Chains A and B, each alone.
Chain A
Amino acid sequence: MIETTSLTKRFGELIAVDNLNLSIAHGELFSLLGLNGAGKTTTIKMLSCLIRPSGGSAQVMGKDLVKEAGAIKQKINVSPQETAIAPNLTVQENLKMTAGVYGLSKKSMAVKINEMINVFSLEEVRNKKAKLLSGGMQRRLSIAMALITEPRILFLDEPTLGLDVLARRELWAIITKLKETTTILLTTHYMEEAEALSDRVGVMIKGKIRAMGTVQDLLKTTHTQKLEDAFILLNQKEEA
């Protein structure tokens, strides 16, 4: 589904993503873990056609990331790190606008809007302006806007950042359900989130993937009991 070969992104002198080789299978949930500035968001920005790579190549659904960006964009969606909603539009209007710009027919638009409102428990606030919703509700709406277009690949950039425990658990349940139909690339700072949701994880340090595999693989390689310990150990090794 996603294949990168030596994918690199430079911002002047800084190498944000350094020779990234990644392979994510259809229906897989892959989590990218890393400290701030490790290159997680830059990776998502490149793979979602927001910024051009400086080097290397990538195939997304068999299409070239640079040459066939238009075709890729039709089949992917992203939920950015910050909540990305139109504040003066209602919940329903936000969903309708997103479905419209992706070219959904009016009939399927109505069906999908109702489906998203049900899945994300937004019925009570359907006609409420987005700016008046709680942080958790806004985040749910933001992800619903990414899913209404039925993307084959979904990029979730720190989806639970700033949410309370309850809202986080609710979102986990939704993401777990999504795994049945959608390939997901997720970035997170929360180790327990990666443990609970991921099929595989990749630890990114200074633009490079330093370890990759299932959580069990990582624990085995680092001789640790918890993913957090493994993550800290890998970062400390890099610093040393």
Chain B
Amino acid sequence: MKFIYFAGRNSKEILRDPFSMILAGVLPVIFIVLFSIISGNVPMEVFQPVNIVPGLTIFGFTFITMFLGLLIAKDKSSSFLTRLFVSPLKPWDFIMGYFVPVLPMAVIIAVSCLVTGLFVGVPLSVKLLFTFLSFIPFVLFSGFLGIFLGTICRETQVLAVGNIFIIACPLLGGAWMDVNILGETLKKITDLLPFSHAIEASRIVLSGRPDNLWIHLGVVCLYAFVFFVLAVFFFSRKMRSDYR
């Protein structure tokens, strides 16, 4: 359990940057309130609380990728990681040490969005708890993608790719619009990506409609697994590399 101490350091590095927590925790909440106001004037299905809350919670999780990627890229550029590579920590300890801090951050984002949802019309029921659980595969995906990006990219590259990811997720995932309006080709692309599946899975759980929940969750789990493997592979390679 040596990684716990390393994970503690990473939590502090992320949480002691108030700007990051404001972005990740507060921005989705502001959007939920804004869209609930818009839904009063534009009665579209996608703006309904049971649809907009899961979409924007998933959007909030995308910040995890950026923060984690930046943290690792910064560590790589200093001698700090060199010091730790000399320690008895194994690649698995590093992956866990970087991933564990994601969990409290994800809980803060999920709880703040779901609680805000209650104020804008999401009914209080056990479905909220199941919706919370349905977020897990996307949190895993976001975390492992962040570790992967941080390992292979420099700080400026993480910033660029992270920003694209943050913008692409709600747009291609249909967080605040129907993905069908993107056209047939783009719709096919969104079906291949995890974003719309993650949002749709949480919407199915929160609204309680009978639908293909497991297919959507399965796609996100597959992405999480692929990026887990990539993160472990590239981080292990980085540890053995002559050029750090």
Contact = CB atoms under 8 A, between A and B. Distances in A.
Interface string A49-93: 111100000000000000000100110111011111110110001
B12 A81 contact: no
A103 to B, nearest CB: 6
Interface string B233-244: 000000010101
A49 B90 CA distance: 13
Nearest to A75: B88
A204 to B, nearest CB: 19
Given A52-B240, A89-B12, A78 B80 contact: no
B4, B84, B87 pick with most chain A CB within 10 angstroms? B87
Given A51-B242, A86-B80, A97-B8, A78 B88 contact: no
Contact of A103 (B2, B79, B86): B2
A89 to B, nearest CB: 6
A102 B242 CA distance: 24
B82 interface: yes
Nearest to A11: B242
Contacts of A99: 5
Contact of A77 (B86, B89, B244): B86
Interface in B1-41: 2-6, 8-9, 12-13, 16-17
Nearest to B243: A11
B178 to A, nearest CB: 42
Interface in B54-91: 78-80, 82-89
Given A52-B240, A83-B79, A84-B80, A78 B6 contact: no
A240 to B, nearest CB: 32
Interface size class of A (residues with CB under 8 A): 20 to 34
B80 A101 contact: no
B5 A100 contact: yes
B9 A86 contact: yes
Contact of B86 (A78, A82, A89, A97): A78
A82 B8 CA distance: 23
A89 B13 CA distance: 7
B86 A73 contact: yes
Given A84-B82, A100-B8, A101-B88, 9 more contacts: A50-B85, A78-B83, A84-B78, A93-B12, A99-B5, A100-B6, A102-B2, A102-B87, A102-B88
Interface of A: 11, 48-52, 70, 73-74, 76-78, 80-86, 88-89, 93, 96-103, 145-146
20 contacts: A48-B86, A51-B242, A52-B240, A76-B86, A80-B79, A80-B83, A82-B79, A84-B78, A88-B13, A88-B16, A89-B13, A96-B5, A98-B87, A99-B5, A100-B2, A100-B8, A101-B3, A101-B84, A101-B88, A101-B93
